[in-house]
Amino acid sequence: MAPARDRVLSRRDIEALIADGHKIVLLRGQVLKVDAWIPYHPGGDKAILHMVGRDGTDEIAALHSKTAQAQMQRYVIGKIDGQWENFLPPIQGGIFRPLLLHQDNLKQELLEQDNNLDTPSSSLSERSTSPSPVFDAQSDSEHVRLRHPAGSSLPPSQASSVYSSESEPSTASTSHFTSAEASIAHAISSNLSMYPGLDQWSQHEVAIKYRELGDKLEESGLYQCAYGNYAVELFRYLFLFALFRIFLHYSYFTLSSISLGLLWHLLAFTVHDAGHLSITHDFQVDTCIGIFIADFLGGLSIGWWKRNHNVHHIATNVPEHDPDIQHMPFFAISSQFFSSLYSTYYERTMKLDFAARFFIRYQHYLYYPILLMGRFNLYRLAWSYLLDPRQSPQKGSARWHRYLEMSGQVVFWYWFGYRTLYLSVPTWSARFAFLLVSHMVTAPLHVQLTLSHFAMSTADAGVQESFAQKMVRTTMDVDCPAWLDFIHGGLNFQVVHHLFPRLPRHNLRQAQKLVKAFCDDVGIPYVIFTFTNGNKEVISRLGEVAQQLKIMQECQQSAAKDLVEGRQHH
């Protein structure tokens, strides 16, 4: 009798297993049942749930080392014959038919396997080079939902070109907002006629060339971290820390708070690197680096970031699933939010209530003022994560990270809240000013985090869209001189980063050339703007959605008025 891992499972078998509650993932033609891994997963359960029923070959390769992928072999329960057609995961609304009577033997075998996998070996969690498998989540609707902003149509002939801000037309001006103005980035990324076809063959070709690109990056040594670059980063950190302490000692509180804010701004990029394990590529070492910087020095939570950011990489720019674009009631980057969508991440309805209607109508004016307060929201999110044990790994080598983070929070509020604000700043008004200035200085980080996605498409291209096409279609790069890369922290290369998340930050500029060539080869538009024009794109998109809400409200008011007048007439 052939080993269980060699048995061929049909599509119907896999559908039935998912209907029975099993978490089935496909990797290079193998069928993995990862139920036993969920309590151990450093990135939480949501990242895995968005993967169920999908072929995650490209996504797993992007987020995991070969060693980690080899460890996944313990979860193999069979294989498939032929090319896989993705299911819509249950968390996204997929419906599956339950197990049949003739599959009782298979079910019994799986139960026996569960007993053997209840306690995964520590080597799996300790040697993993990614906090989470990242998998692309799509809808299985046969109809592609698109928004075509008025006046934003672009010819298909531009499909394979790299769209540069140098050719940006004057309609990108944000001086006024009318229904005729639209974000160019959104117009490009939501027009699927400019991309390779969504048929299985076309997307398979994109995937094959994407894998070849990954091999080329690895052969070029771009996955090797040049630690000399972090020596330069460390010098910047120490310089800013010294300024913060010197200005504080001599009671130059404004200059001290600015220096501290700039330090937090730059440190956040190294936290991002550590979260993706792109520094040492060791799970425990990079995680501890991230905890030390995020929690002990910044009062934030790397655990929260991993759980949130993993889902963002999985369901990039999907309104119902991507927490990085779910900012109701303050922002809406799509009219889809007008229907009070249910967030699968926060597990609540994002209501279009009175507050949301007010903020969204003026969001293009409130964008920067709200982001000035962004760091305070990160404190709230950090504590909501740390105080809820269900959100963090409950077993395995990552379980203790939550307690280390809590210790970091105590240390942070001691040195910043007590030693700095309370003891070193003499008056309450000066303390309040120090707190505000130091936090507002970090606003460019929040601008950078939203810049590469807010103006891009939220269109649903279906479950068959390849990982590579999805990432490029929903992400925008920022063009800037090389000497300014440290200010952007590598986030200016978001397209490259989303395609290859484990790639060290300081190698992204070199990799960008190869990624542009790949996009040109497969016919995927590569959207890139300067920082200034990228901001215009975001503001244009926010203004466009605000205008849509205004029109919708006017139509509702007009309809209500007609109804009332009609009743009075009768």
Per-residue pLDDT tens digits for 193-228: 999 999 989 999 999 999 999 999 999 999 999 999
Is residue 353 over pLDDT 80? yes
Does 314 map to a domain?
yes
The whole-number pLDDT of residue 105 equals 64
And the tokens for 112? 């026996």
Least confident span in 129-133, 513-517, 521-525: 129-133
Q: Is the peptide bond before 329 cis (omega within 30 degrees of 0)?
A: yes
Does 151 map to a domain?
no
Which tens digit of pLDDT belongs to each residue from 105-127? Answer: 666 666 666 655 554 543 333 33
Q: Which residues contact 363 (CB under 8 A, 6 or more apart)?
A: 330, 331, 332, 542, 543, 545, 546
Which tens digit of pLDDT belongs to each residue from 405-425? Answer: 999 999 999 999 999 999 999
State the Cα–Cα distance between residues 125 and 121, nearest whole angstrom.
8
State the Cα–Cα distance between residues 31 and 80, nearest whole angstrom.
7
State the Cα–Cα distance between residues 222 and 474, nearest whole angstrom.
24
Is residue 181 over pLDDT 60? no
Place of tokens 């998109």: 541
Which amino acid does the sequence have at 139? S
Which of 156, 159, 9, 135 has the alpha carbon at shortest distance from 72?
Answer: 135
Place of tokens 């080329």: 216
The whole-number pLDDT of residue 172 equals 36
Least confident span in 147-161, 274-288, 308-322, 462-476: 147-161
Final residue of a structural domain among 45, 66, 92: 92
Give the mean model confidence (pLDDT) for residues 261-281.
Answer: 95
Higher pLDDT, 559 or 293: 293
Which of 206, 145, 196, 140 has the alpha carbon at shortest distance from 466?
Answer: 206
Least confident span in 21-30, 142-151, 192-201: 142-151
Does 229 map to a domain?
yes
Would you say 37 and 395 are in contact if contact means Cβ atoms under 8 Å apart? no
Higher pLDDT, 439 or 398: 439
Same domain, 357 and 469: yes
Residue 552 Ramachandran class (φ > 0 left, ψ -120 to 50 alpha, else beta)? alpha
Q: How confident is the model at residue 332 (pLDDT cuts 50, 70, 90)?
A: very high
Is residue 171 over pLDDT 80? no
Neighbours of 434 (CB within 10 A): 21
Q: Which residues contact 544 (CB under 8 A, 6 or more apart)?
A: 149, 177, 181, 182, 183, 186
pLDDT averaged over every residue in the chain: 85
Same domain, 78 and 210: no
Does 149 map to a domain?
no
Least confident span in 61-70, 144-153, 234-243, 314-323: 144-153
Three-state DSSP at 32 gives strand
Which DSSP string do the residues of 403-440 spell out, in sequence order? HHHHHHHHHHIIIIIIIIIIIIS-SHHHHHHHHHHHHH
Give the mean model confidence (pLDDT) for residues 485-512.
Answer: 95
Higher pLDDT, 259 or 6: 259
The whole-number pLDDT of residue 107 equals 64
State the Cα–Cα distance between residues 255 and 567, nearest whole angstrom.
65
Same domain, 87 and 194: no
Same domain, 227 and 88: no
- CA distances to 164, 185, 362, 372, 529 from 188, rounded to whole Å, are 12, 5, 25, 29, 13
Q: Identify the burial level of 376 via C-beta atoms within 10 angstroms of its C-beta, where 0-12 means exposed, 13-18 middle and 19 or more buried.
A: exposed
State the Cα–Cα distance between residues 65 and 69, nearest whole angstrom.
6
Same domain, 327 and 458: yes
Does 504 map to a domain?
yes
Does 368 map to a domain?
yes
Final residue of a structural domain among 29, 63, 92: 92
Give the CATH number of the domain where residue 46 resides.
3.10.120.10
The whole-number pLDDT of residue 114 equals 62
- CA distances to 6, 79, 398 from 32, rounded to whole Å, are 12, 9, 22
State the Cα–Cα distance between residues 377 and 301, nearest whole angstrom.
12
Does 416 map to a domain?
yes
Which DSSP string do the residues of 322-383 spell out, in sequence order? -GGG--TTT--SSGGGGG-PEETTTTEE----HHHHHHHHTHHHHHHHHHTTHHHHHHHHHH
Is residue 154 over pLDDT 80? no
Is residue 90 over pLDDT 80? yes
Least confident span in 157-161, 342-346, 400-404, 506-510: 157-161
Which DSSP string do the residues of 287-335 spell out, in sequence order? HHHHHIIIIIITS--HHHHHHHHHHHHHSTT-TTT-GGG--TTT--SSG
Cα three-residue angle 465-469-473, rounded to 5 degrees: 110
Same domain, 86 and 192: no
Residue 57: which domain range? 4-92
Q: What is the 3-state secondary structure (H, E, C) of 463-520?
A: CCCCHHHHHHHCCCEEECCHHHHHHHCCHHHHHHHHHCCCCCHHHHHHHHHHHHHHHH
Final residue of a structural domain among 92, 123, 139: 92
Place of tokens 């690197």: 273
Does 137 map to a domain?
no
And the tokens for 337? 């939010």
Least confident span in 53-62, 99-108, 489-498, 539-548: 99-108
State the Cα–Cα distance between residues 25 and 31, nearest whole angstrom.
6
Domain count, the chain: 2
Q: How confident is the model at residue 140 (pLDDT cuts 50, 70, 90)?
A: very low
- Give the global pTM: 0.84
